[in-house]
């Protein structure tokens, strides 16, 4: 059985590789761990790369999500993926720090890579810019949300954490409330991706860093309902939306089936559930501005504003 342990890295095709790499190094505070002709590898800490930037797009887009999985015989894993009608390819030496990956695609055509062994990076945190702890989660718009939720849950073994009715799903692979978010939309596109920060004081210093770098804060700081994370959002230089979050709910004990209790919880215990969107989006703070859906006005965008 496929057992996903953590989100490894996300890869984006970008227009201006050098400008984007400078932003992720100097403002976000990632460390450059490798560079090829058209590719820059950037890391938060232990992974060789948390973010991969590749040149070659007119408009930046998400091209790959990689997961660390439990050790498994690659032939067994390939057979399992094929039994779920998923294309599979084993690649060796395709990237630094990870020797072998099993590669497939999700129903929206985004490459999915899985690996069980990696070479830990030798560098420490950069202590520069925002300096996030780790890559937290990736949220995508998708035209067939049920199909892609089925891919991640039945195909890859992720678990349901919460949803907003039947149009926005939060799935976890470990203790963190969500690793993958899936939002019903008119077409497929990354909606945002998130870095985990230490706490609200780290969010505050991140806001100060963005102000100093003249990067406008798009939304937040606020506390979400789903996941109860404190969150703040901004654009990168090519319009990708980055979230910085802290205090995300955790389910330390899957056997209990509820999230670790916290004062901000509405339910006692806080079990996974389908939320009313008005309660789920923000416990405190403003509701999202239209710019949050710059990837394309979603059919559900209007359902996520307070006045509807």
Q: Which residues contact 14 (CB under 8 A, 6 or more apart)?
A: 20, 53, 54, 55, 56, 57, 60, 238
- Nearer Cβ to Fe ion (21/304): 304
Which of 236, 243 has the CB closer to Fe ion? 243
- Cβ nearer to Fe ion, comparing 149 with 194: 194
Contact 116, 71 (CB under 8 A): yes
Closer residue to Fe ion (CB): 155 or 220: 220
Cβ distance 304 to 288 under 8 Å?
yes
What residues does 6 pair with on adjacent strands? 68
Provide, rounded to whole angstroms, the least separation between the CB of residue 186 and Fe ion: 20
Segment near Fe ion (CB under 5 A), from 7-15, 92-100, 243-251, 279-287? 243-251
Number of residues that bind Fe ion (CB under 5 A): 2
Query: Is 78 exposed, middle or buried (CB count within 10 Å of its CB: 0-12, 13-18, 19+)?
Result: middle
- Residue with Cβ nearer Fe ion (136 or 209): 136
The whole-angstrom separation of Cα 5 and Cα 195 is 17
133-171 exposure pattern, b = at least 16 Cβ within 10 A, e = fewer: ebbbbbbbbbbebeebbebbeebbbbbebbbbeebbbbb
> Tokens 């100060």 — which residue?
208
Which two tokens mark 55? 């040149």
Which range of residues in 71-79, 101-109, 188-196, 294-302 is near Fe ion by CB under 5 A?
188-196
Closest separation between CB of residue 77 and Fe ion, Å? 29
What binding mask, one character per residue, do residues 191-220 give for Fe ion by CB under 5 A, x or -?
A: ---x--------------------------
- Smallest distance, Å, CB 194 to Fe ion? 4
Shortest spacing between CB 76 and Fe ion, in angstroms: 33
Q: Which is nearer to Fe ion, 116 or 191 (CB)?
A: 191
Q: How far is the CB of 200 from Fe ion (least distance, A)?
A: 16
Inter-residue contact 248 to 181 (CB < 8 Å): no
For the CB of residue 191, give the shortest distance to Fe ion in the complex, in Å. Answer: 8
* Region of 33-41, 44-52, 206-214, 237-245 interacting with Fe ion (CB under 5 A): 237-245
Element (H, E) at 89: strand 89-95
Tell me the closest approach of the beta carbon of residue 83 to Fe ion, in angstroms. 32
Distance from first CA to last CA of the chain, Å, rounded?
A: 43
CB nearer Fe ion, residue 76 or residue 291:
291
For residues 171 and 177, the answer to whether their CB atoms sit within 8 Å is no
Cβ distance to Fe ion smaller for residue 194 or 206: 194
Q: Is 247 in the site for Fe ion (CB under 5 A)?
A: no
Reduce the DSSP state of residue 234 to 3 states and report it.
strand
Binds Fe ion (CB under 5 A): choice among 47, 162, 176, 243? 243
140: tokens are: 């995508």
CB of 270 to Fe ion, least distance (A): 18
Q: If you count DSSP H runs as helices and E runs as strands, how many of each does the chain have, helices first?
A: 5, 17
Note the residues at the interface with Fe ion (CB under 5 A): 194, 243
């Amino acid at each position: 059985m496929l057992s996903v342990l953590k989100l490894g890295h996300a890869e984006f095709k970008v227009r201006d590789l050098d400008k984007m790499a400078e932003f992720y190094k100097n403002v976000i505070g990632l460390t450059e761990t490798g560079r090829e002709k058209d590719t820059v590898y950037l890391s938060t800490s232990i992974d060789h790369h948390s973010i991969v930037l590749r040149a070659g797009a007119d408009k930046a887009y998400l091209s790959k999500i990689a997961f660390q999985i439990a050790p498994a015989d690659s032939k067994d894993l390939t057979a399992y993926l094929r039994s779920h009608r998923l294309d599979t390819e084993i690649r060796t030496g395709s990237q630094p720090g990870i020797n072998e990956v099993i590669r497939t695609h999700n129903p929206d055509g985004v490459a999915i890579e899985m690996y069980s062994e990696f070479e830990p990076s030798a560098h420490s945190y950069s202590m520069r810019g925002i300096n996030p702890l780790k890559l937290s989660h990736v949220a995508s718009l998708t035209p067939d949300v049920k199909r892609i939720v089925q891919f991640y849950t039945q195909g890859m073994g992720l678990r349901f954490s919460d949803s907003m009715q039947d149009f926005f799903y939060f799935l976890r692979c470990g203790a963190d409330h969500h690793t993958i978010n899936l939002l019903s939309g008119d077409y497929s596109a990354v909606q945002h991706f998130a870095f985990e920060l230490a706490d609200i004081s780290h969010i505050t210093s991140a806001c100060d860093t963005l102000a100093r770098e003249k990067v406008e804060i798009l939304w937040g700081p606020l506390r979400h309902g789903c996941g109860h994370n404190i969150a703040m959002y901004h654009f990168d230089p090519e319009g990708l939306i980055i979230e910085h979050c802290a205090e995300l709910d955790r389910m330390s004990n899957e056997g209990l089936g509820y999230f670790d209790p916290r004062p901000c919880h509405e339910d006692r215990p806080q079990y996974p559930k389908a939320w009313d969107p008005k309660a789920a989006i923000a416990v405190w703070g403003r509701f999202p501005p239209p710019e949050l859906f710059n990837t394309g006005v979603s059919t559900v965008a209007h359902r996520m504003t307070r006045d509807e």
